[in-house]
């Protein structure tokens, strides 16, 4: 009987190492609320909301913001806008890139690198395995 409780995570590695992808995430230094169909963002500075710097998003911005509840790639955000509003790729790309540029410069969104989930899934390794689960 295999008594291993956890198995080491293994990543798909080619000559250049693990595959990284850039993802966009909400800054932890803001709070957001949905009010009357708009998303309001308040930066938090020194544990206090900065009420002089409140941001509001239209419907498209709100959709992108909600999509970033978890880290998302540029392609995933563009796809979300395309599907929701039935617009062409170029229009969705332009809208998403403008939103990201504006929110990155205001410190509302951050760009990070993470190991590509596709790379993890391609190896078949990355799951946790409990004892006796075979």
Q: How many domains does the chain have?
A: 1
By residue range, what is the domain housing residue 103? 19-121
Q: How many other C-beta atoms lie within 10 A of the C-beta of residue 97? A: 13
Output the average pLDDT for the chain.
78
In a domain, 6, yes or no: no
In a domain, 65, yes or no: yes
Q: Looking at the predicted structure, is the pLDDT value of residue 131 above 80? A: no
Interval 52-110: pLDDT, tens: 678 899 999 999 999 999 999 999 999 999 999 999 999 999 999 999 999 999 899 99
Half-sphere exposure of 123 (CA within 13 A, CB side): 17
Residues contacting residue 37 through CB under 8 Å, at least 6 positions apart: 59, 62
What spatial distance separates the first Cα and last Cα of the chain, rounded to whole Å?
Answer: 9
Q: Looking at the predicted structure, is the pLDDT value of residue 127 above 50? A: no
Q: Which residues pair with 109 in a beta bridge?
A: 26
In a domain, 55, yes or no: yes
Domain of 31: which CATH number?
A: 3.90.930
Interval 20-62: pLDDT, tens: 889 999 998 888 988 887 888 888 876 655 556 788 999 999 9
Phi, psi values for residue 25, rounded to 5°: -135, 155
């Amino acid at each position: 009987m295999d008594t291993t409780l956890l198995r080491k995570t293994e990543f798909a590695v080619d000559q250049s190492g693990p595959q990284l992808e850039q993802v966009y995430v909400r800054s932890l230094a803001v709070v957001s609320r949905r009010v009357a169909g708009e998303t309001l963002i308040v930066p938090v500075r020194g544990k206090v909301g900065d009420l002089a710097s409140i941001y509001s998003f239209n419907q498209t911005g709100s959709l992108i913001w909600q999509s970033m509840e978890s880290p998302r790639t540029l392609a995933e955000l563009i796809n979300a806008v395309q599907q929701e509003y039935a617009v062409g790729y170029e229009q969705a790309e332009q809208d998403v890139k403008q939103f990201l540029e504006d929110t990155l410069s205001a410190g509302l969104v951050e760009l990070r690198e993470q190991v590509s989930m596709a790379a993890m899934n391609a190896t078949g390794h990355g799951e946790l395995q409990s004892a006796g689960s075979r």
